[in-house]
């Protein structure tokens, strides 16, 4: 599983390597620059005769750029280094690389080109021939805030050139933790990142601006990342393959997961349909949908494989208080409960939901109106001694926590981690990048999915998938990992087949088998 670090965690790793292990910072910088060179050679094979523009800021990122410039020159490239700060602002290892570069510049042969220019106005760039490659070594992972002045002008110039651009560690202007951009950031074709990827490369604009991501081993031993306490991971297909349930030869329907779903109300029978069918699509053996009794004729038509349990209802035809005894009977039967899709906001139904949650001694996935019932009642979760998965989108999570949606989107990893640890649940915080947080403080960033999945019912499909995996014996966190990744992959396959705009939730549901097969076949390959 691929580790992902915050900028602060990466700084701690660097400090550990330098201060506790005695690895010189200049050696880490040399390893970093060599990795950048390797990433460039993977593209070009040779850089001899190519013209490279290297833009350097004041920090270690600029030092990396100066080392890269030196090595490009050593491979017969024409190199122009543009410092965006006065040379006397360079410190430490960056200063060392600047002084080396200056000595090389002074000693080069007449026909060689290795220039170091302190750039004061972006218009000066027009004096030089057009580059073949641009190296962005302006800010690095420590940058936060708004790009201004000469830095803004230079980044704007870089983006306007349509030249192959390599960013060192992270595209300049991109927030290394959140993936946000204030104003402008470099649009790279490749980002050569140091040690482990940064969270900002996985979120928001970080999913687009870095281009391809190339990870460089700069010489920090793997145990250092564990010592620092990094608990954030990026999900890949192999992580799902290792977790998918294997059905024994003597399986029967009741040994493969018994799911009881409290779902549906007038106008929301689709939520009941998709959440229960998706549980079966991932392998659940038996699913019973507990539904308001007046909806039974409709769902008898919609659901063939899923069994139906008509329940006493309110005057609004939602699940009523008199259904509680029958619900508890089927709770005893089930391995896993689904609580919430399409249940409505009816007050009496809400009281039924809260009563069910308080009595939970089985694993459960709570979504939609199940989450709405928990608003103001979150402490119920702390009293439960079973595995619970919550699957809110940012709006639902905002109602649960009173946190602004903007903060949730900006600090998704931290707020998900803190909530999961505090309430002892697995939290699936949905969005353009879905993250999964465990009660142990681990966070898993999903790598699949696309904008076409922003469609009504998509979340109901995910809820059923997670419950289906839990019913087959997977832990809550492993079920969430498999469910979220395969849900996104099913959406990607649906996009490839029909496009993003026409995609509906049933298209995602129908692609679940293809997604599972794709993951399994990749394993055999």
Closest CA to 146 of 173, 107, 126, 186: 173
Q: Is the pLDDT of residue 60 over 60?
A: yes
- The alpha carbon of residue 225 and the mean position of all alpha carbons in its chain are separated, in whole angstroms, by 19
What mean pLDDT do residues 503-525 have?
Answer: 89
* Per-residue pLDDT at 1: 86
Residue 207, CB half-sphere, CA atoms under 13 Å: how many?
13
Percent of the chain with pLDDT over 70: 99
What mean pLDDT do residues 453-466 have?
Answer: 98
Q: Determine contact, residues 483/465, Cβ cutoff 8 Å.
A: yes
* Per-residue pLDDT at 377: 96
Task: Give per-residue pLDDT as tens, 406-446.
Answer: 999 999 999 999 999 999 999 999 999 999 999 999 999 99
Mean pLDDT, the chain, rounded, equals 96
* Per-residue pLDDT at 110: 81
3-state DSSP assignment of residue 221: coil
Location of structure tokens 């998509």: 458
Task: Give per-residue pLDDT as tens, 256-282.
Answer: 999 999 999 999 999 999 999 999 999
Q: Is the pLDDT of residue 522 over 80?
A: no
Q: Is the pLDDT of residue 525 over 70?
A: no
* Per-residue pLDDT at 48: 94
Q: Is the pLDDT of residue 379 over 80?
A: yes
Task: Give per-residue pLDDT as tens, 64-116.
Answer: 999 999 999 999 999 999 999 999 999 999 999 999 999 999 988 888 999 99
Q: Which distant-in-sequence residues (6+ apart) come within 8 Å of 506 by Cβ? A: 274, 457
3-state DSSP assignment of residue 165: strand
Partners of 309 in the beta sheet?
A: 290
User: What CA–CA distances, in Å, run from 386 to 7, 359, 422, 426, 483?
Assistant: 35, 11, 15, 11, 19
Query: What gap in Å lies between CA 383 and CA 156, rounded to an integer?
Result: 54
Q: Which distant-in-sequence residues (6+ apart) come within 8 Å of 127 by Cβ? A: none
Q: Determine contact, residues 489/306, Cβ cutoff 8 Å.
A: no
Q: Is the pLDDT of residue 240 over 70?
A: yes
């Amino acid at each position: 599983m691929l580790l992902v670090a915050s900028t602060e965690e990466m700084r701690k790793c660097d400090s550990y390597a330098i201060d506790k292990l005695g690895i010189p910072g200049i050696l880490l910088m040399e390893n970093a620059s060599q990795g950048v060179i390797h990433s460039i050679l993977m593209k070009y094979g040779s850089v001899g005769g190519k013209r490279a523009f290297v833009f350097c800021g004041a920090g270690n990122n600029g030092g990396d750029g100066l080392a890269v410039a030196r090595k490009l020159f050593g491979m017969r490239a024409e190199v122009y280094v543009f410092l965006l700060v006065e040379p006397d602002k360079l410190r430490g290892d960056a200063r060392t690389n600047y002084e080396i570069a200056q000595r090389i510049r002074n000693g080069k042969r007449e026909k060689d080109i290795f220039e170091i220019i302190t750039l004061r106005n972006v218009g000066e760039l027009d004096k030089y021939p057009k580059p073949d490659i641009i190296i962005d070594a302006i800010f690095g992972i420590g940058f936060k805030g708004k790009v201004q002045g000469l830095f803004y002008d230079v980044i704007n110039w870089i983006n306007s050139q349509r030249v192959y651009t390599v960013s060192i560690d992270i595209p300049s202007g991109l927030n290394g933790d959140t993936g946000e951009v204030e104003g402008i950031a470099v649009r790279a074709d490749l980002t050569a990142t140091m040690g482990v990827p940064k969270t900002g490369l996985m979120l928001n604009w970080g999913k687009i601006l870095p281009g391809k991501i190339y990870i460089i081993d700069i010489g920090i031993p793997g145990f250092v990342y564990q010592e620092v306490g990094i608990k954030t991971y990026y999900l890949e297909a192999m992580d799902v393959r290792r977790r998918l349930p294997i059905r024994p030869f003597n399986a029967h329907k009741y040994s493969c997961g018994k799911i009881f779903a409290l779902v549906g109300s007038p106008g929301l029978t689709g939520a009941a349909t998709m959440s229960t069918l998706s549980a079966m699509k991932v392998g659940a053996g038996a699913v019973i949908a507990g539904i308001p009794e007046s909806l039974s004729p409709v769902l008898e038509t919609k659901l063939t494989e899923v069994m139906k349990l008509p329940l006493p209802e309110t005057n609004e035809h939602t699940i009523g208080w008199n259904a509680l005894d029958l619900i508890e009977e089927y709770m005893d039967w089930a391995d896993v409960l689904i609580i919430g899709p399409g249940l409505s906001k009816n007050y009496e139904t809400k009281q039924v939901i809260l009563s069910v949650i308080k009595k939970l001694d089985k694993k459960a996935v709570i979504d939609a109106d199940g989450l709405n019932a928990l608003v103001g009642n979150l402490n119920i979760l702390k009293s439960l001694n079973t595995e619970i998965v919550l699957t809110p989108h940012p709006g639902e999570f905002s109602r649960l926590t009173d946190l602004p949606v903007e903060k949730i989107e900006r600090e998704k990893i931290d707020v998900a981690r803190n909530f999961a640890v505090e309430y002892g649940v697995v939290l699936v915080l949905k969005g353009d990048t879905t993250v999964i947080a465990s009660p142990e403080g681990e966070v898993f960033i999903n790598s699949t999915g696309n904008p076409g999945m922003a469609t009504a019912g998509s979340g109901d499909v995910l809820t059923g998938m997670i419950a289906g995996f839990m019913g087959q014996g997977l832990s809550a966190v492993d079920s969430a990992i498999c469910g979220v990744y395969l849900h996104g992959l099913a959406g990607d396959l649906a996009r490839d087949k029909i496009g993003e705009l026409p995609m509906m939730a049933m298209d995602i549901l129908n692609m679940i088998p293809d997604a599972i097969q794709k993951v399994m076949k990749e394993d055999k390959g």
